[in-house]
Structure 1
Amino acid sequence: MFPLSHLLSRFVQAGTLTVFDAEGREHVFGGKEPGPLVAFRLHDRKLYRTLFLKADPGLGEAYMDGTLTFGGRDGGPGPNGEAAGAEGLRDFLRLFNVNRFAFVGHPLQSVLKRASKAVKKVTQYNPVGKAQQNVAHHYDLSRELYELFLDEDLQYSCALFAHEGQSLEDAQRNKKRHLAAKLALAPGQRVLDIGCGWGGLALYLAKEHDVHVTGVTLSVEQHRVACERAEKLGLSDKVEFLLKDYRELDGPFDRIVSVGMFEHVGVGHYEEFFAKVKSLLTPDGAAVVHSIGRCTPPSSTGPWLRKYIFPGGYSPSLSEVFTHTEQARLWVTDVEILRLHYAKTLRAWAERFAANRGRVAELYDERFCRMWEFYLICCEMAFAEGNALVFQMQLARDRAALPLTRDYMYAGDASAAGAGTHEDDEAVRLAA
């Protein structure tokens, strides 16, 4: 297994990794410091070289193909009771995050950083047209797939858990209420939802706050579902969904909200994004951007995630974002960092996905199931143990456009008190 064994012996400093090679031989790495106990088996000798040269995307592809499985040599629990299957994957990713600084200062790391920086803007080039192709790759999958693991309103972004043990449905309602409070809405205002998904937030804002909402998406499937929901709720006169790139819109709008879309803009388009947001706002308008980010300096999207899940996607550092809000001469009137909320959200999604795994396999196949397991658990651990976060950034053209204290954000925000269901929320849900 050399040179893979040499790499692993250097990498695993905390916890213990037991590897069963393709011949069934046992190799144990680490154990110097306490940490997760993990065991996996390699079923193909080619993986020795693949995992050494390109662990990303090699590890994810091996898991998808079934040539790397977690647990002992027989596929069951490992030699010390280590978990198998998806739980084994979760433990491995926890082990990875615990040891992720093992190669800091290593010459290979600097080489890899330079290489990723060189291709960063190329992989995130998302002009009009190309952006729609990237969106279709992920969001034009079967609606039923998303219904099998999301909440009933099809909210596909970080929920807001007001207390331990709160349901995913209630936590997603909290998120919608919190965003509405930050928008400081008034009846009759024109609101733009950039990246509206299946329409849940737009419908909620129109129904609860008596505003007129235009939602835009590049997903054909999401647009179809959103329009159906608006018609079913009798809100077609207050909510309009467009299959259109936000860059092709004309304003003005009193409020703009964008949830889970900024990750798909691409670093080379940040200046364009904020300039467009500014041009679409009324002079006293305001916007809220909700996005995944990172607490570390700028980096790049992993090759596996970029290839199989989110082509063109990237989670920015705040330093990358502020540069362009400043260039656009926009006031950043508030920033809130959500830390473990997305880890909880992703854990709930992964559990629901596992409970419906048989149906997912019927819709697609076993390789697809393993791909989505890897995606959901990998992202969960990035928020639970890694450097991922969610930020909500409030923007305005005029410094006096919004109240000067945060009180208004919580006065009417039931999520701050951990509110549960609401009859109007239920009506929106039933249209899903």
Structure 2
Amino acid sequence: MPPAPAGVHDETQPRLTGDALRDRIRQLPSSERYLFQLFSRIEDGDLTVVNPAGEVFQFGTPGTSVPLCLQIHTPGTYDRIFAFGTLGFCEAYMDGWWDEKNDNLVELIGLFYRTKVYSTARDRFTLGLFLKVITQRLKTVPTRIQNSYKNVQHHYDLGNDFYQRFLDPTMTYSCGYQLQETDSLEQMQRQKYELICRKLALKPGETLVDIGCGWGGMLIYAAENYGVSGTGITLSTEQAKLAEERIAERGLSDRIQIRISDYREFTGQFDKFVSIGMFEHVGKGSFATFMEKAKELLKPDGVGMLHTIVTQSNERNGAWVDKYIFPGGYAPQLHELTQELWAVRMPIAHCENLKPHYAETLKRWAENFSANWDEIQQLGDMYGDRFYRMWYLYLQSFEASFRYGGLHVYQLLFYKGKQWKMDVPLQVSLK
């Protein structure tokens, strides 16, 4: 990890606790006081905060959880958080203005989730934050097809060489499925594909469409293990290029095609439908359009699978994530998915939550990302320290969200036409 700014923490400095802590907080400037008042709500947790002057503040109860140390290097951090909430907090991290002493951002953010620090800071919607959010969303709203192209390319066209440095050999960039603690990332992804294939009851000779196909992993697995043919849809030119190369290497070019297209512009009919980790980019205004398209693409009595992140929160895409990671993203709530599927008369046959599996997937991505950072840096000038801190925070914060926060990931199996009888396996094994 890039070196953090030099701190001034003196390990012998006494920690302010109890009345001394409360008295000192009352003396602080308003923006610094605001942050420490947020931390004062921590009871079941162990957080030490070191300010730029070297003062040490103790929040919570030592020994009640993983000990964490937030080191604030730059005084401007307080004003940034006061003005822009979690957006300011995350941008300050990108700029090296603060660190967790042991780079344990998962547990730090997890502590903020458990103690409502994050939600309280997020709910403080200032004028400055409002203007930033509105400006960003007007530029990225995915109901416009041209915006969908730009949004996808912002994240997924960073370069295939980059993604190959932290994904597994299947080049899968979505939640895996863990059966054993010792499962490798590749095993988790292949087990996820196997689970989906069984839920879809794929059979040799059937056709499968994959909306948001990434680098073709699902289609390749289904073709090689279940004898299907299919078409993958993506808006990323980088993904399409590598997907076609991977398909050709396996001698599957006559059975799998990749198309660069918005799902709204794609036509055809297939026996089975799947979409894995793409629905988050659809946007609330297009939920109904997506479901209508899924129904249109399915043959009579066809079966579909939607695999998507779902949120319990009223906040669908945080301001920082919207600006830096997934422009135009909008996580649905579960009831919105079920309502839209019912509206197009495609009943749900099965629903499963893979929440803990995504936390484990993100943990492995972050480990690979950090371990291969020296190689990533050699890929180009854009992969500098600020990029590292941005992506490290993204991977760690999303792991925390799935482990401790309100993010879930659901697989919804649905059907078109008559009742479809099926038997969903509780466990899968690789062939």
With the shorter chain as reference, the TM-score category is: 0.7 to 0.9
Q: How far apart are 1:333 and its partner, in Å?
A: 1.5
Stretch of structure 1 that moved more, 29-38 or 246-255: 29-38
When residues 319 and 299 of structure 1 are mapped into structure 2, their CA distance, relative to the original with a 3 A threshold, is farther
Q: Deviations over 1:357-382 (max 9, x none)?
A: 22223331111111111010001111
Q: Deviations over 1:101-131 (max 9, x none)?
A: 7977x9x94868x979x96985643321210
**Equivalent in the alignment of 1:91:** 107
Give the distance between the partners of 1:127 and 1:182, measured in 2 at CA: 33
Q: How far apart are 1:288 and its partner, in Å?
A: 0.3
In 1, are the aligned partners of 2:193 and 2:218 still within 8 Å (CA)?
yes
**Equivalent in the alignment of 1:291:** 308
Matched, 1:241 2:258: yes
**Equivalent in the alignment of 1:76:** none
Letter in 2 for 1:352: N
Matches within 5 A, 1:80-159: 84=102, 86-87=103-104, 89-100=105-116, 109=123, 124-159=141-176
Matched, 1:53 2:53: no
In 2, are the aligned partners of 1:187 and 1:211 still within 8 Å (CA)?
yes
Unpaired runs of at least 5, structure 1: 72-83, 423-432
**Equivalent in the alignment of 2:56:** 26
Name the SS of the counterpart of 2:306 in structure 1.
Answer: strand
**Equivalent in the alignment of 2:219:** 202
Q: Deviations over 1:181-229 (max 9, x none)?
A: 1111222222111001011111111222222200010001000001111
When residues 33 and 54 of structure 1 are mapped into structure 2, their CA distance, relative to the original with a 3 A threshold, is farther
Give the distance between the partners of 1:31 and 1:326, measured in 2 at CA: 49
User: Which of 24, 29, 33 is 1:2 aligned to?
Assistant: 29
Identical residues among aligned pairs (%): 36
**Equivalent in the alignment of 2:100:** 70
When residues 13 and 126 of structure 1 are mapped into structure 2, their CA distance, relative to the original with a 3 A threshold, is farther
User: Which of 343, 355, 368 is 2:387 aligned to?
Assistant: 368
In 2, are the aligned partners of 1:36 and 1:95 still within 8 Å (CA)?
no
Name the SS of the counterpart of 1:290 in structure 2.
Answer: strand
Give the distance between the partners of 2:307 and 2:100, measured in 1 at CA: 35
Stretch of structure 1 that moved more, 284-293 or 93-102: 93-102
Give the distance between the partners of 1:393 and 1:254, measured in 2 at CA: 17
User: Which of 182, 187, 194 is 2:204 aligned to?
Assistant: 187
Name the SS of the counterpart of 1:271 in structure 2.
Answer: helix
When residues 372 and 103 of structure 1 are mapped into structure 2, their CA distance, relative to the original with a 3 A threshold, is closer
In 2, are the aligned partners of 1:278 and 1:330 still within 8 Å (CA)?
yes
**Equivalent in the alignment of 2:24:** none
**Equivalent in the alignment of 1:81:** none
Q: Deviations over 1:239-290 (max 9, x none)?
A: 0000111111112111111001011111111011001111111111111011
Name the SS of the counterpart of 1:345 in structure 2.
Answer: helix
Name the SS of the counterpart of 1:35 in structure 2.
Answer: coil
When residues 150 and 21 of structure 1 are mapped into structure 2, their CA distance, relative to the original with a 3 A threshold, is same
Name the SS of the counterpart of 1:137 in structure 2.
Answer: helix
Letter in 1 for 2:386: R
Unpaired runs of at least 5, structure 2: 1-27
Return the TM-score normalized by structure 2: 0.85
User: Which of 43, 49, 59 is 2:73 aligned to?
Assistant: 43
CA RMSD of aligned residues (A): 2.5
Give the distance between the partners of 1:340 and 1:207, measured in 2 at CA: 28
Give the distance between the partners of 1:297 and 1:98, measured in 2 at CA: 14
When residues 11 and 307 of structure 1 are mapped into structure 2, their CA distance, relative to the original with a 3 A threshold, is farther
Return the TM-score normalized by structure 1: 0.85
Aligned length: 393
**Equivalent in the alignment of 1:319:** 335
**Equivalent in the alignment of 1:80:** none
Letter in 2 for 1:245: D
When residues 100 and 171 of structure 1 are mapped into structure 2, their CA distance, relative to the original with a 3 A threshold, is same
Q: Deviations over 1:324-358 (max 9, x none)?
A: 11222211121111121011111111111111122
Letter in 2 for 1:134: N
Name the SS of the counterpart of 1:393 in structure 2.
Answer: strand
Stretch of structure 1 that moved more, 121-130 or 234-243: 121-130
